[in-house]
Amino acid sequence: MNDRLRKYRNTMMMGIFIVATLIALIPLFGVLGYVVINGISALDLDFFMNLPKAMGVSGGGMANAIVGTLIMVLIASLIGMPVGILAAIYLTEYDRTSWLSIAVRFATDVLTGIPSIIVGIVIYTAVVLRMGHFSALAGGLALSIIMIPLIIRSTEEMLKLVSQSIREAGYALGISKRIIILRIILPTAAKGIITGAMLAVARVSGETAPLLFTALGNQYWARSLNEPIAALPVQIYQYATSPYAEWHQLAWAGSLVLILMVVILNLIARFAFRSRSN
């Protein structure tokens, strides 16, 4: 009797879990499907090759926005990755307990939680207003500020995963701390650190708010890093809020491209750096 009741309850419980899981899948596939259906029709070679056409004119693409996003993500990575990774090394390898590391850790936690538009406003005030114009540099800088705490956090976690016994093995061989970090700990954690960095890149490449105040957007090619520059998310925002159907189409296509970029980065992070064990 009891056995049957127990089995019945188990089955019930499992059923509830399965239903919840399926519900969780709906938005994911809903969003993906919606974007693909709407975006695929406008996605052609022109989209990747051409500049946007004038208002109301059909055709044209987002080549400048794609390149702009890539440039600003590159700038953000060039600043964010070294700073983030090196800071994380300091926090885990040199100083886990002092007030400085506690402060840094607290700041990173807060910074990860802060809405990204605030980062945009700060950079707008501190950089854009002072330089007198919007620019790719300011945009990249804003993205790097979002990136740094993410990278510090993920790198720190990865370094902490390297067993203390590995460090001790290094010390016991009479190897200096610097070499232990560079040649033993970093290679051991490399896979995880790179994965974390990839995910941070994926995260910032979709940011819109901080770029509105910093990179602004541009209908044409930017000729230098000191000029306003187009970015995919900004372009999508502007086109989607415009009254023109053609632009709506392009916004869908841009969304699709952005999603693909993020998916590809995620896949790279997941598979390309799997352990090369024999």
Partner 1 sequence: MGHSLSVRNLEAWYGSNKTLKGINMEIAPNQVTAIIGPSGCGKSTFVRCINRMHETLPGTKVKGEILLDEESIYDRDPVALRKMVGMVFQKANPFPSMSIYENVVAGLRLNGMKNKQTLHASAEKSLRMAALWDEVKDRLNYSGMSLSGGQQQRLCIARALAVEPSVLLMDEPASALDPIATTHIEELIRQLKENYTILIVTHNMQQAARIADSTAFFLNGELVEHGPTSEIFTNPNDKRTEDYITGRFG
Kindly give, in sequence order, each residue whose CB lies less than 8 Å from that of residue 178, ignoring residues fewer than 6 positions away: none
Residue 237 beta carbon to partner 1: minimum distance, rounded to whole angstroms:
43
**181 near partner 1 (CB under 8 A):** no
Number of residues that bind partner 1 (CB under 8 A): 23
Show the DSSP H helices in the chain as ranges.
Answer: 2-40, 45-49, 63-89, 99-113, 116-123, 129-131, 136-161, 164-172, 177-179, 186-205, 209-212, 232-240, 245-267
**174 near partner 1 (CB under 8 A):** yes
Residue 188 beta carbon to partner 1: minimum distance, rounded to whole angstroms:
5
Residue 176 beta carbon to partner 1: minimum distance, rounded to whole angstroms:
6
Cα separation, 123 vs 214, in Å, equals: 7
**272 near partner 1 (CB under 8 A):** no
- Residue 259, classed as helix, strand or coil, is helix
Q: Which of 190, 245, 263, 267 binds partner 1 (CB under 8 A)?
A: 190
Q: Which of 55, 82, 187, 220 binds partner 1 (CB under 8 A)?
A: 187
Please answer whether residues 254 and 236 qualify as being in contact, where contact means their C-beta atoms are separated by less than 8 angstroms: yes
Pick the closer one to partner 1 by CB: 21 or 277: 277
Cα separation, 114 vs 149, in Å, equals: 11
Residue entry with tokens 């720190």: 156
Q: Which of residues 142-171 bind partner 1 (CB under 8 A)?
A: 163, 165-166, 168-171
Residue 179 beta carbon to partner 1: minimum distance, rounded to whole angstroms:
5
Please answer whether residues 63 and 127 qualify as being in contact, where contact means their C-beta atoms are separated by less than 8 angstroms: no
**34 near partner 1 (CB under 8 A):** no
The binding site for partner 1 (CB under 8 A) comprises: 96-97, 163, 165-166, 168-176, 179-180, 183-184, 187-188, 190, 277-278
